């Protein structure tokens, strides 16, 4: 997590060990239908972990989707402790040097330059977000921001964020700088309420700001609940405090 502030956000976006600046070669999505929710709202247990490779004539072939992601990504529930955190485990080889293609949840920009929008939060975005009447900020305190970003696939995508309206202009400036630097971002979408209740899989990498939840390990509201903190590529930039690593499979990226 990073509190909003230009210098702090840019510091958070350093490239982790073994992390390429950018890769190319992933095909664009083969559909023009753009989902508006998370990829999945269910998870199997860790004991159901599927094989990540197949062997054909003694040649090992990874089971990857069109974005370069292992088939099990986001589907394997980790054992949890008494606080509900997933068990920290060594980073799987498939997630070391992670550089997956971006799944478009919004139509990508038509040009190659940086574009953005700042608006009131549309009702349909409120409905699929974590906001509710019990959150510490009202809908009118938030802005809906869309920005261009580069993916690890080398393509330009459109990301979306909910952010406190007082920080909306600043966050656009940050992402314009990241875009100019060709800093790759895997995913950037609004978090939905059902995601907060899912068992941890420890492998998410969604760049986000507003999430109506308590602070990690505490009972007070997180700065995310005010739209005033940001996670950029959280798998490559994990939360690390003592034995706690979030996402839970991002242990490799604590050595930076």
Please state the pTM of the whole predicted model: 0.80
User: At 184, is the secondary structure helix, strand, or coil?
Assistant: strand
pLDDT band at 32 (very low <50, low <70, confident <90, very high): very low
102 token code pair = 């971006």
For the chain, first and last CA: distance in Å?
16
Please tell me the predicted confidence (pLDDT) of residue 62. 60
The pLDDT of residue 184 is above 80: yes
Which is nearest to 15 in space by CA: 250, 241, 233? 233
89 token code pair = 């485990």
pLDDT digits (tens, 9 = 90+) for 157-170: 999 999 999 999 99
Higher pLDDT, 127 or 42: 127
Domain ranges of the chain: 2-19+42-254
Q: In the predicted model, what is the mean pLDDT of the chain?
A: 84
**Across 47-61, 89-103, 116-130, least confident range:** 47-61
The pLDDT of residue 7 is above 50: no
| Tokens 């809908």 sit on residue | 139
Ramachandran angles phi, psi of 105, nearest 5°:
-100, -10
DSSP state of 143: E
pLDDT digits (tens, 9 = 90+) for 62-93: 689 999 999 999 999 999 988 888 999 999 99
**Across 38-52, 82-96, 192-206, 209-223, least confident range:** 38-52
d(CA 159, CA 27): 18
pLDDT digits (tens, 9 = 90+) for 225-255: 999 999 999 999 999 988 899 999 999 999 8
Please tell me the predicted confidence (pLDDT) of residue 111. 86
9 token code pair = 């956000």
76 sits in which H/E element: strand 76-77
pLDDT band at 59 (very low <50, low <70, confident <90, very high): low
d(CA 105, CA 92): 26
The pLDDT of residue 58 is above 90: no
């Amino acid at each position: 997590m990073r509190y909003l502030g230009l210098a702090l956000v840019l510091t958070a976006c350093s490239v982790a060990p073994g992390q390429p600046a950018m890769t190319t070669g992933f095909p664009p999505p083969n559909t023009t239908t753009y989902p508006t929710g998370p990829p999945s709202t269910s998870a199997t247990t860790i004991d159901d972990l599927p094989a990540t490779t197949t062997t054909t004539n003694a040649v090992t072939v990874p089971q990857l989707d069109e974005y370069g992601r292992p088939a099990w990504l986001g589907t394997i529930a980790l054992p949890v402790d008494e606080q509900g955190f997933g068990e920290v485990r060594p980073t799987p080889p498939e997630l070391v040097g992670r550089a997956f293609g971006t799944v478009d949840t919004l139509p990508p920009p038509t040009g190659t330059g940086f574009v953005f929008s700042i608006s009131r939060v549309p009702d349909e975005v409120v409905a699929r977000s974590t906001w509710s009447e019990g959150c510490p900020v009202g809908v009118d305190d938030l802005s809906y921001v869309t920005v261009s970003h580069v993916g690890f696939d080398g393509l330009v995508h459109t990301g979306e964020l909910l952010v406190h309206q007082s920080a909306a202009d600043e966050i656009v400036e940050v992402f314009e700088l990241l875009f100019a630097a060709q800093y790759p971002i895997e995913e950037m979408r609004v978090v939905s309420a059902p995601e907060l209740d899912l068992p941890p899989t420890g492998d998410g990498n969604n760049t986000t700001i507003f999430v109506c939840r308590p602070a990690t390990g505490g009972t007070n509201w997180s700065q995310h609940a005010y739209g005033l903190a940001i996670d950029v590529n959280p798998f490559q930039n994990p939360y690390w405090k003592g034995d706690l690593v979030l996402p839970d499979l991002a242990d490799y990226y604590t050595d930076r």
